[in-house]
Structure 1
């Protein structure tokens, strides 16, 4: 009895990996990352052979200590799971990677005849021709469900011919999610749960349709501005298939072990698993739900990974097919977790680490200084509007227009600024800016509101002083 118990424990440890004490260097890397990015909570792991080193730091959105079972949104790391769901159907003979999408998804339509040539492989490798330039993914309110996302493509065109150019585009993976639903006859969440997560023992992993949907046990993520973190709701958006999975460090370790071929070996054929990790034709560094990347800057790609970024959640996972070493990072705020995961892996294999720095620290400091300066100037213009109008009462109209032009430009440009930086003009990008670059949104909002008030006050006082100047003088009353 005792011998069986011990033997079982040894076998489980070999299969899933035993949790080793954290290396001091790994802990230092995580602590340095939190210091640089102000990240409230981090859950990280390094897998090396049969051992798993876990490092947890900080707090969740409710203020509780982060653990290996704290739930995180994993964002675009979800794409590796969507691609695997497709590959499960390929293994079962339900479809082929080189099938045209219209063959397996008859409802798929676009206002571009080239769409009929898009294959399943191309949507998984981001070579479908879909582009942010022709399909704005940041629409509000966002579509609900993969069916609606596919339906909204009916009046869209392709930016390039299918299979000729790679452009990372989330909609590709929402199409893939819809393929899973139609071919399997199950909802996307149900398919992932029953065919992927449950067989792999990922009991705390689930998926949502929207990026901001409520999920049991999931606390809010954080916005971090100039080192100050505050819990915030996630930005609304469509995440089905491309970024909607919620998981834990423990479960994601299982996911990496599956991709390394040491867990769930009978779930997917070895050939299909290898295909998921293979860079595809014309796809740049894209595999199927994964990307090839270097361990150190300037080196050739030697590892496979994928990151995930939402407004209040980020994460990254990476593994070396040759050495079997893997690293995983989950965080509940913005940042660059890919840098941390790569450094954790590099530390373990003896490669040099990349120095960590947060460029947003300087950017936000500059934006704060500009906001304060512009607020001071515009408030001064508001307070002195009457004096300004009195001095220019007799000025000619062309000169007055020139005097008012700077305020008008400040107001208009600050309203427009958040839109073109994301690639095209759309007021939807004001919402995106508010979540992803809050200091820029604060700067623009300050300039727009105070600029409009200052402009309006000057016009109002010009009119008042003009009326006073043109009013006829009242005769003096005689004393009785």
Structure 2
């Protein structure tokens, strides 16, 4: 009796569930897309974050929901959906796709050693013979910015030269052990593409990726700023609340961060990614298996093959130049988001990820959080530190005579130590690229020129503190010399 009662209850529950589930699903209306809400959020973001110009693309499935530009470029011209802009390291997704196409054609294998295709490739470590194609793409080759300082070394002018330069690298870890994000891995991946395909990487990307997607206003370059197309305007750095037009530092970017594109073209890229590798005209660029493989990782690591997973489980990739930034994001809902900004990497501005996250929140029918003007607060704090340093320096210089009189009565070594302390800002300035690269960038490489673009306010503070230190030491030494002479005159018969 009890068994029959339980069976009856379970049966009733199952019937009710089958009836209710379709009803509940039918009532769940899709979130209405509101271009005006997106525009308001983006323009507010521009105002708060100090971005002169932003272009965005939003897709869903095979449909372009929005492609538009907001703000202006460095000439004052309005941003539009066809304004060409660098997408920086978003380019790594393009390179990964090129590699996967060659894997699909049987001309390359992900788990084959790189030396199988580049016989002369090696780094200064016997483990380099074990580096595989896959390990280049998922950033686990063992090469890092700390073992090959790719930005501060002389820049190559071709992928062949980049391969030659990589021979000076050592391995931070055994291949396949741990992720170390470095552009060198993607220089080598692009070199593989051109050697295996027997054509320049930029030509391959044009014929096999950009043209099939009808990305007619897109291209790929080797070096900045020399190779930038004529229509690409200067990006910006940021100083005390003002965006300042600036030229990108000289860098080699082929395969790693060299794609130049538009919002209109990025919409086509996003559609292909969310359509199992099929372009809007029906041409297949990659199999569904390859698309899935690029956005999956072993052992739950965050970096796939040219794609990165954020803390919310969404796949995307950031792009940072020192004068431009970008972000792409794919949502489980089938939406794609691409953002390009003409304001560069800096303190409080890593990439437009927060903007993409806010747009994703709107697409989910939720209220996005307001984005704080972090960059402005950081620069104002640095400005205050600069003024404080100048004030301390001026006060110290004025009291140089009093200090020298006291110093003449102290042991010489104590005086020397007090003078040496004023050279600390100079030593920090010299070491600043490595310190910031390790502290903020997780070991990434920087040069002083790039650091000036990264944070002019920080460099002004350190420059002022260094100058003040040198002036204080010079004035104090002069005062000691005067005091010594005076005492010599007084004590002479």
Which TM-score applies when normalising by structure 1?
A: 0.86
160-169 vs 466-475, which deviates more? 466-475
Matched, 1:147 2:163: no
User: Which ranges of structure 2 fall in alignment gaps of 5 or more residues?
Assistant: 1-31
1:420 alignment partner, one of 435, 438, 443: 435
Residues 164 and 416 (structure 1), Cα distance of their counterparts in 2 relative to 1, 3 Å cut: closer
Residues 88 and 245 (structure 1), Cα distance of their counterparts in 2 relative to 1, 3 Å cut: same
> Which residue matches 1:460?
478
Equivalent runs, 1:207-286 vs 2, <5 Å: 207-213=220-226, 214-261=228-275, 263=279, 265-282=282-299, 284-286=301-303
Which TM-score applies when normalising by structure 2?
A: 0.84
Task: Say whether the 8 Å CA contact 1:22–1:55 is kept in structure 2.
Answer: no
After superposition, what is the alpha-carbon deviation per residue over 1:304-338, rounded to whole angstroms, capped at 9, x for unaligned?
A: 21110111101111122x42211111100033311
Task: Say whether the 8 Å CA contact 2:68–2:263 is kept in structure 1.
Answer: no
User: Structure 2: how far apart are the matches of 1:170 and 1:415?
Assistant: 24
Residues 256 and 440 (structure 1), Cα distance of their counterparts in 2 relative to 1, 3 Å cut: same
Equivalent runs, 1:128-147 vs 2, <5 Å: 128-147=141-160
Is the partner of 2:177 in helix, strand or coil? Answer: coil
> Which residue matches 2:307?
290
> Which residue matches 1:363?
378
Q: Displacement of 1:421 after TM fit?
A: 2.4
Q: Displacement of 1:369 after TM fit?
A: 0.6
> Which residue matches 1:16?
none
Equivalent runs, 1:319-468 vs 2, <5 Å: 319-320=330-331, 322-334=332-344, 335=349, 336-351=351-366, 353-386=368-401, 388-390=403-405, 392-423=407-438, 429-468=447-486
User: Structure 2: how far apart are the matches of 1:22 and 1:204?
Assistant: 27
User: Which ranges of structure 1 fall in alignment gaps of 5 or more residues?
Assistant: 1-19, 476-480
Q: Displacement of 1:398 after TM fit?
A: 3.5
Q: Displacement of 1:372 after TM fit?
A: 0.7
User: Structure 2: how far apart are the matches of 1:159 and 1:415?
Assistant: 24
426-435 vs 226-235, which deviates more? 426-435
Task: Say whether the 8 Å CA contact 1:77–1:308 is kept in structure 2.
Answer: yes
1:187 alignment partner, one of 200, 204, 214: 200
Aligned length: 449
Is the partner of 1:423 in helix, strand or coil? Answer: helix
Task: Say whether the 8 Å CA contact 1:277–1:304 is kept in structure 2.
Answer: no
Task: Say whether the 8 Å CA contact 1:259–1:273 is kept in structure 2.
Answer: no
